[in-house]
Structure 1
Amino acid sequence: MDRGDIEESGGEEEFPRLGGGKYRPVGAHDRAVVEMSSIDPGSSSSTLKNIRVVAPGEMGAGAREGPIPEDGVNGHQKESKLELFGFDSLVNILGLKSMTGEQIPAPSSPRDGEDISIMQGHPKPALKMGTMMGVFVPCLQNILGIIYYIRFTWIVGMAGIGQSLVLVLLCGLCTFLTTISLSAIATNGAMKGGGPYYLIGRALGPEVGISIGLCFFLGNAVAGALYVLGAVETFLKAFPAAGIFRETITKVNGTAVAESVQSPSSHDLQIYGIVVTILLCFIVFGGVKMINRVAPAFLLPVLLSILCIFIGMFLAKTDDPDTGITGLRLKSFRDNWSSAYQMTNNAGIPDPLGGTYWSFNELVGLFFPAVTGIMAGSNRSASLKDTQRSIPVGTLAATLSTTLLYVISVLFFGAVATRDKLLTDRLLTATVAWPLPLIVHVGIILSTLGAALQSLTGAPRLLAAIANDDILPILNYFKVADTREPHIATLFTALICIGCVVIGNLDLITPTVTMFYLLCYAGVNLSCFLLDLLDAPSWRPRWKYHHWSLSFVGASLCIVIMFLISWSFTVVAIALASLIYKYVGLKGKAGDWGDGFKSAYFQLALRSLRSLGADQVHPKNWYPIPLVFCRPWGQLPENVPCHPKLADFANCMKKKGRGMSIFVSILDGDYYECAEEAKEACKQLATYIEYKRCEGVAEIVVAPNMTEGFRGIIQTMGLGNLKPNIVVMRYPEIWRRENLTEIPSTFVGIINDCITANKGVVIIKGLEEWPNEYQRQYGTIDLYWIVRDGGLMLLLSQLLLTKESFESCKIQLFCIAEEDSDAEALKADVKKFLYDLRMQAEVIVVTMKSWDIRSEGNSKEDSLEAFDAAQRRISDYLGEIKSQGSTPRLANGKMMVVNEQQVEKFLYTMLKLNSTILSYSRMAAVVLVSLPPPPLNHPAYFYMEYMDLLVENVPRMLIVRGYHRDVVTLFT
């Protein structure tokens, strides 16, 4: 087939490409064909002009038959000059994405061997909003609400002008600092649905994100009830005849403004509140498009009503003090400057016999919902033209403008009426409004209904976003597709809202809302604090006006305000978030969102590693870091990544589970060809380690053979003082098999490499007999301490005693002495040494003259038989070498010089040691013996014979080789 011709292949024919994979041809059944010219060195820098999208309608029958002409749309088709990079052209990727508006996934390398297909569509671009309508207006609408109209004048009367200013500035500072933190996080990358939950979860992890996100969801749901009750209370105040029940509250504090004040019945609030909530739910079910069209219109009456309130205060009469309206007078300002905290009834009317006493702390909880709503812009991030600019500017503008409005309102409200009027007229804003109170009533109702609508719209989507992350299985009922409405979550939110409406008391609901909002704001500040403090390379927010100290102050201020409001509510809120956090940790699915805690762990690990330095660790700070060879001799099935008893032994080397193990397997082959197989094997090994509850990491190394792989591992594995210091592997009992002739040289090479690299060695003989954590052992742990090894053998015995399976055992220490040694003096010295090391063991000194090779009778028969068999095999091996006539060489290429007398000496020494072990330790739970290094110029085969003779008939043995440094110390 000619280059540039595409023939119909029915989806069966494939074309070769670089790396051995194949390309699938784009046929007529595809939705579109993308024709693109290659990039010639002399062509124009503008490559996108050569791209043409052929729609399916333009592809007639002729397009299905025969090849596409080579001089078609672009006149020629050539191979891309960028194909040598192994990826699709970046120009093509970005060009297609910008022209079609589609989301094209990241390209994969051609050598992956996967088919590449491009699906195109022409979706209608969604309407994007700017800073004003997308952020500023929603935030303003959510911030200006029921508290300002119904409770703000009452707060000024109760706290006075001075403390009211402190209250406003305190709450305003909290939201201002939170806005700065929000701006930094929101401008550090693209945002998805979920608002603050998404920001906190991606910064502090899924557990913290979900716990705070669910609390924020509850806060929004309860806030919906707050707004509904505010609208209903305003409606019943404006139209008292609409009330089904009527309640008259008589003032008993003797004020001259009025003798009695009527307030709506709690039953009326409940009935009307439930009806309004249901009606709002029907609107929410109508879809978010309708809500977004109607919601901005609610803001105009709010702004108009605020303007009318200020006009009314300027035009208020000053000659009618009986009504309590004094106009803007300095006398009223002075009278209302100080606080007047007192008892009130449930409706907030001053009453010496009332059951509620108000203080500054309670007023903080009552007022704080009036400054919330700063997250409204971040919730609409997907609909913004420029998220990175609109969220900081719009949110900060809304926060500062509303705070300024509240400060001015405190000054004006404190100067326009008497304190009694401020405390008794819950709708003083409507009373002073110009020209009619009805304007304020309408403004209050529309603003609160709009805010309630936003709460009932945003809360279900927040819950659905948490469910869609698929971390918490219990929330799966609320999962929805991206294009579907969260109806089940909306019903659940409505039930919570109705439950709070039934309470019917606005002043009892607002502290609950405050706690949840403050908890969320604290999470946002802590997220920015952590990210600022860590300053990871990925932390590059466009909003530059932030600092970790500001975020820390903001988070601290949130916590302080929570305790100011109510320490009991604070404890309940934190306990609820903690329970959710714990539940997510236990029941939630694992998720890695690249959160700040992972970065903190990384920074802490780096700092700790640097603090350890490059010098040797002091014996008091020494921890075993075993390097466990999982499959050294091919004795396991292919589907078993590690012997289970090796994992059990790795746990035995840790005191109370503290420490790290490195589990390694070597995969024979070429890395280029076996890379994917190695990755899959590493995943399986890591899963198995987690299943065995081992604290460690898994590594798979691809090498031409085991010897080369081990040398690479022993030289490079680990960092600084966190490199493995002990190599653990099983003894190769199967080395005599004809198809495993390479085992002796590999085994000797590994031991020599460990000695060269100054690593300890622990070889497990009888791995199949090693007990698991539930098999309790009795008897003794016998140590045959022959050479100085830095105390590694002693330390291993003590670590074994800390495990449940060996805690009932006792330690016996056998000291192998020379023939002319003073046994009693050696025993006394060893006992003193063990006492200083805080180790308990029975010391037994064995000298070479205490027994003779041929005179022990039955106790040595097994050893003698093994000795004679080893001699015969070595003689046969030497005979084969001599019969070849050539000079034999070792595995390292050096000439082999065999000294038969030295070989006899090694065999004899191993026989004596094995006989001693069988005499004293035949019933021991485990035997530890020093590992003799491979002798120079001895074939690996000989060394395996020596080792076989040493371990003969010993069911369970640890062969230990220390290194030239102490791992135990005498000193405190």
Structure 2
Amino acid sequence: MSSSANPADLAVSNSAPSNRQRNEKPEFQGFGTFGGVFTPCTLTILGVIMFRRFGYVVGNSGLMWALVILLCAKIITTLTTFSLSAVATNTKVKGGGAYFLISRSLGAEFGGAIGIVFFLAQAISVAMYVIGFAEVVNELNGSSVKLVALLTNVVVFICVFIGAGWTIKVQYFILATLVASLISFFLGGFDQFQWTQLSENVGPHFLNTLNADGGGKKENLFTMFALFFPAVTGIMAGANMSGDLKNPSRSIPVGTLWSIVTTAIVYAAMAFFIAGCRPAETLVSNFSVIGEISKWPVLITAGVFAATLSSALGSMMGAPRILQALAKDKIFPRLNLFGVGSGATNEPRRAVIVTFIISSLCIVLADLNTIAPLITMAFMITYGTINIATFYEGITKNPSYRPTFRYSHWVTSLLGAIGCITVMLLMNPLWALASAVMMVGIYFFIYRKQVESQFGDLGSGLLFERTRRNLLKLERTMYHPKNWRPIVLAMSGGGSNRLNLSMFGHWLTRGNGILNIGQVISGNAEEHIDRIANQEQLLEKFIVDEELDAFPNIVAAPKLSEGIEYLVQCSGLGALRPNTLLIGWPGDVEKATPLVSTLRTVQKLRRNVVIARLEPTETPKQAPPGTIDVWWRGRKNGELMLLFAHLLKQNPVWRNQPIRLMRVVSSEEAKADVLKHLHGLADESRIEIEAEVFVSDHPHHVIGKQSKDSAVTILGFELPDAGKEDKFFAQIERLIERLPRVLMVSSIGNVKLES
């Protein structure tokens, strides 16, 4: 009894099937490893290059170097398959092949760029393969290459449009034809093999070859490698069918690796017999030498037909599935209509039609000599990117990276990526550069659109790992005032003052520090779980809507003062804990007393304090008119005050507001020395200021008069001792009553202007 038997089915097994059972079509379960991966990969690898160019490679390189070329090519594709298998066994694989795997690792930008490039490469490859088929037909009967190619393309299109199931069945027939042609070759090679001929072809010859116009060129090992390598680039044929596989996480690694091993044995055996059957001169000058060695040459012709048609079918099946997956992810809105599938198997018929149109246009244009190198580069970029994705997954130690395929390591992935880049440069440096430029262009196009992917990628993992290491390094580095940056906790609350305080916090930290926006919910955390979550969402929305560079911080506490102390102690991480508390002026003596007590605790925790009195009715998207006035009373608070003024002015909206550094003295005699001192402070701090000194015995009158039209006034203050809060509140109120906007600073002395 099968373990998958359904008890309900067994209970009625002896009764006649119902009408519903008779009419229901069995649900598509997906293709297996042999039909869905091994067969497409093998048919693509054992392609037209094997029949029409492999003898040329062996004739020039000799058996020994031909085997070295084969080994190097297989090492690169095997390393890439290791990476492909690791990614495929680390996630639930859906349709889209290489695009799906790369986008889920490197993100929408890389995935989208690869998806577009790989789709176009596969679509144009259909044209290349059917033109290759038509050229063989032309050699036999002289028929029109374009006409035969277009008719063949229609046949390929019909097979794929009907469905992948039909196409797989056609590929079984093509595989049988290919196997028959190989048997014919090996039987003929066995009859004609000569050991003396083999010994002559062991070493390289690299003969001068003649072009059609009589010109010649000298081949070398690199040109032979470049000629042969496209023959082994069919490893993605199975992965492209990922959405149609029964168990892609198992089938992709097993089927692809077995295909690589099988085709490597075939190519090595063919090289051995080719070298032992014909002299190098014949191998180089005769592209039909495989057929001549074969016992039944007609089967070689059938094999060429099979190889070209199977490759065309593979590309016609793979390209639409890439486009369909790309459309489903909504990276390019205009492609969304191609995400729709048809039938129980979700066939991408709309995408198949697009692929057919592109391939037909390329056939009509018929000038693929300049396009072919770019197609090969697209394959190599795809392979290289898969290796890079697996490399980054490995080195970032992402906990979610747990592939069941155990033979991949970040070292193998790195070697695979290096191998792909090397092959691109060996084949054609110019086309390699053109391909890279195309990829970069598409990447930044998607990046500028700010596409929000609905799937995770290793970009966040890589960022996390880099951040983690930098945080640890920052934590272990001895503090120096030169490296001081504002890390502000702005207690914005939930009222009308939120935007004002948050915006000033944003201006003080923009491009230089970190802004945390804090809020305290009164009450017990357990009783306000839903409210905390709701307020977090609202605060996050507020940050996004106002385009602030900030992090939300919300706590529940029995009292506001306790909540502030919680946030000051717990916000941030390591060296990135807040060093400055920004809070609003209470405006009420009853609120001032507990606030001052809390601020004393904050300063004992070694945090600077900035109290802001702002106009609640303002919408501070732009800097208010006027100057930035800093009233100097000494270095204790003054250095931080002047630095904050400088940081404000770094914002584009504050750029035209001059900084005035001012002081009140009690005698005229001291004015000149103090003015000189202020200019010295400007030189020392390298901050551009306008220095002014006023003589008066009533500083608060001078400040109120001189700064009543300022954009913001920055003052220093000292927290009062316990029991003197009322007097402190009255003094501050009298000082700031005529000022429109005030930042009152109390520093712990951790800023040095000369740094």
What is the TM-score with the length of structure 2 in the denominator? Answer: 0.89
Which residue of structure 2 lines up, in the alignment, with residue 551 of structure 1?
413
Which residue of structure 2 lines up, in the alignment, with residue 333 of structure 1?
200
Which residue of structure 2 lines up, in the alignment, with residue 706 of structure 1?
560
Distance change in 2, residues 1:582/1:506 (3 Å):
closer
Supply the distance in 1 between the matched residues of 2:366 and 2:174 (Cα, whole angstroms).
25
Are 1:332 and 1:418, in contact at CA under 8 Å, matched by a contact in 2?
Answer: no
Are 1:659 and 1:695, in contact at CA under 8 Å, matched by a contact in 2?
Answer: no
Are 2:709 and 2:739, in contact at CA under 8 Å, matched by a contact in 1?
Answer: no
- Correspondence 1:681-692 to 2 at 5 A: 681-692=535-546
Shift of residue 809 of structure 1? 3.7
Supply the distance in 1 between the matched residues of 2:638 and 2:455 (Cα, whole angstroms).
45
Q: Which runs of 5+ in 1 are unaligned?
A: 1-47, 58-121, 245-267, 319-326, 346-350, 637-641, 852-911
Find the partner of 1:272 among 148, 157, 163. Answer: 148
Supply the distance in 2 between the matched residues of 1:309 and 1:696 (Cα, whole angstroms).
70
Are 2:394 and 2:410, in contact at CA under 8 Å, matched by a contact in 1?
Answer: yes
Distance change in 2, residues 1:579/1:787 (3 Å):
closer
Supply the distance in 2 between the matched residues of 1:308 and 1:750 (Cα, whole angstroms).
92
Shift of residue 954 of structure 1? 0.9
- Correspondence 1:923-942 to 2 at 5 A: 923-939=709-725, 942=727
Find the partner of 1:299 among 153, 158, 175. Answer: 175
Which residue of structure 1 lines up, in the alignment, with residue 504 of structure 2?
649
2:636 partner SS: coil
Shift of residue 310 of structure 1? 1.7
**Paired letter, 1:475:** L
Q: Aligned pair 1:144/2:20, yes or no?
A: no
Which residue of structure 1 lines up, in the alignment, with residue 17 of structure 2?
none
Shift of residue 604 of structure 1? 1.0
**Paired letter, 1:437:** P
Q: Aligned pair 1:728/2:582, yes or no?
A: yes
Supply the distance in 2 between the matched residues of 1:200 and 1:960 (Cα, whole angstroms).
51
Distance change in 2, residues 1:282/1:391 (3 Å):
closer
RMSD of the alignment, in Å?
Answer: 3.3
Q: Aligned pair 1:963/2:748, yes or no?
A: yes
Find the partner of 2:262 among 401, 405, 416. Answer: 401
Which residue of structure 1 lines up, in the alignment, with residue 232 of structure 2?
371
Supply the distance in 2 between the matched residues of 1:274 and 1:921 (Cα, whole angstroms).
82
Are 1:785 and 1:813, in contact at CA under 8 Å, matched by a contact in 2?
Answer: no
Are 1:473 and 1:588, in contact at CA under 8 Å, matched by a contact in 2?
Answer: no
**Paired letter, 1:791:** E
Supply the distance in 2 between the matched residues of 1:951 and 1:780 (Cα, whole angstroms).
15
User: How many residues align structurally?
Assistant: 737
Which residue of structure 1 lines up, in the alignment, with residue 333 of structure 2?
473
CA deviations on 1:132-157 (whole Å, 9 max, x unpaired) are 44433332122111111122223334
Distance change in 2, residues 1:804/1:768 (3 Å):
farther
Are 1:789 and 1:961, in contact at CA under 8 Å, matched by a contact in 2?
Answer: yes
Which residue of structure 2 lines up, in the alignment, with residue 521 of structure 1?
383
Shift of residue 380 of structure 1? 4.1
**Paired letter, 2:81:** T
Which residue of structure 2 lines up, in the alignment, with residue 565 of structure 1?
427
**Paired letter, 1:556:** I
Shift of residue 498 of structure 1? 1.9
CA deviations on 1:810-842 (whole Å, 9 max, x unpaired) are 333334568899665555555434422223434
Q: Aligned pair 1:290/2:151, yes or no?
A: no
- Correspondence 1:172-571 to 2 at 5 A: 172-237=74-139, 239-240=140-141, 243-244=142-143, 268-316=144-192, 329-330=196-197, 333-334=200-201, 337-345=204-212, 351-353=213-215, 361-381=222-242, 387-434=248-295, 436-481=296-341, 483=344, 484-504=346-366, 508-571=370-433
- Comparing 296-305 and 375-384, the one that deviates more: 375-384
Supply the distance in 1 between the matched residues of 2:687 and 2:449 (Cα, whole angstroms).
43
Supply the distance in 2 between the matched residues of 1:591 and 1:338 (Cα, whole angstroms).
54
Q: Aligned pair 1:951/2:741, yes or no?
A: no
Find the partner of 1:838 among 677, 686, 696. Answer: 686
Shift of residue 601 of structure 1? 0.8
Q: Aligned pair 1:662/2:516, yes or no?
A: yes
1:539 partner SS: coil
2:637 partner SS: coil
- Comparing 803-812 and 465-474, the one that deviates more: 803-812
Are 2:637 and 2:717, in contact at CA under 8 Å, matched by a contact in 1?
Answer: no
- Larger helix share, 1 or 2: 2
Find the partner of 1:791 among 626, 632, 639. Answer: 639
Find the partner of 2:464 among 599, 602, 605. Answer: 602
Are 2:112 and 2:443, in contact at CA under 8 Å, matched by a contact in 1?
Answer: yes
Find the partner of 2:491 among 616, 629, 635. Answer: 629
Supply the distance in 1 between the matched residues of 2:474 and 2:614 (Cα, whole angstroms).
37
- Comparing 382-391 and 786-795, the one that deviates more: 382-391
Are 2:209 and 2:284, in contact at CA under 8 Å, matched by a contact in 1?
Answer: no
**Paired letter, 1:719:** L
Supply the distance in 2 between the matched residues of 1:839 and 1:499 (Cα, whole angstroms).
65
Distance change in 2, residues 1:457/1:375 (3 Å):
same
Supply the distance in 1 between the matched residues of 2:667 and 2:9 (Cα, whole angstroms).
96
Shift of residue 444 of structure 1? 1.9
What is the TM-score with the length of structure 1 in the denominator? Answer: 0.70
**Paired letter, 1:555:** A
Find the partner of 2:551 among 673, 697, 700. Answer: 697
Shift of residue 951 of structure 1? 0.9
Shift of residue 949 of structure 1? 1.5
Shift of residue 686 of structure 1? 2.4
Which residue of structure 1 lines up, in the alignment, with residue 21 of structure 2?
none
Which residue of structure 2 lines up, in the alignment, with residue 897 of structure 1?
none
Between the two proteins, what is the percent identity of the paired residues? 29
**Paired letter, 1:340:** L
**Paired letter, 1:922:** K
Supply the distance in 2 between the matched residues of 1:676 and 1:360 (Cα, whole angstroms).
70
Shift of residue 794 of structure 1? 1.4
2:407 partner SS: coil
Supply the distance in 2 between the matched residues of 1:776 and 1:165 (Cα, whole angstroms).
76
Distance change in 2, residues 1:779/1:624 (3 Å):
closer
Find the partner of 1:756 among 604, 617, 634. Answer: 604
Are 1:779 and 1:809, in contact at CA under 8 Å, matched by a contact in 2?
Answer: yes
Larger radius of gyration: 1
CA deviations on 1:862-905 (whole Å, 9 max, x unpaired) are xxxxxxxxxxxxxxxxxxxxxxxxxxxxxxxxxxxxxxxxxxxx
1:923 partner SS: coil
Are 1:187 and 1:542, in contact at CA under 8 Å, matched by a contact in 2?
Answer: yes
Supply the distance in 2 between the matched residues of 1:805 and 1:128 (Cα, whole angstroms).
60
Q: Aligned pair 1:716/2:558, yes or no?
A: no
**Paired letter, 2:424:** M
